[in-house]
């Protein structure tokens, strides 16, 4: 069954919020990087900016990542 309620974080616009549902990658270095920044499933996320890099707030932390890394983060609106 395909989950349609999940979207890529790159599809959210500035000011939109969601909950991280999944980190969709097999690349262990990307996974480690995201997890070390506190980007974990179940965390609330708010988009601060989408260009030139993706900046979002997770908890009390603001994180900036490029599109390649952001594209592995799936969220539920």
Q: How many domains does the chain have?
A: 1
Q: What is the DSSP letter of 52?
A: S
Predicted pLDDT of residue 33: 94
Predicted pLDDT of residue 4: 64
Predicted pLDDT of residue 46: 98
In a domain, 1, yes or no: no
In a domain, 40, yes or no: yes
Which of the residues in the chain have pLDDT under 70?
1-4
Predicted pLDDT of residue 5: 86
Predicted pLDDT of residue 3: 56
Parent domain of 69: 6-76
In a domain, 19, yes or no: yes
Any idea what the CATH number is for the domain that residue 54 is in? 2.30.30.90
Quote the pTM value.
Answer: 0.90
Predicted pLDDT of residue 1: 53
In a domain, 66, yes or no: yes
In a domain, 34, yes or no: yes
Predicted pLDDT of residue 14: 97
User: Cis omega before residue 52 (within 30°)?
Assistant: yes
């Amino acid at each position: 069954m395909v989950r349609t309620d999940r979207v890529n974080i790159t599809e959210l616009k500035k000011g939109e919020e969601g909950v991280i549902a999944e980190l969709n990658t097999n690349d262990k270095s990307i996974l480690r990087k995201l997890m070390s920044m506190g980007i974990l499933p179940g965390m609330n996320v708010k988009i601060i900016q989408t260009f030139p890099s993706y900046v979002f707030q997770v908890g009390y932390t603001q994180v900036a990542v490029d599109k390649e890394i952001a594209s592995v983060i799936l969220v539920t609106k």
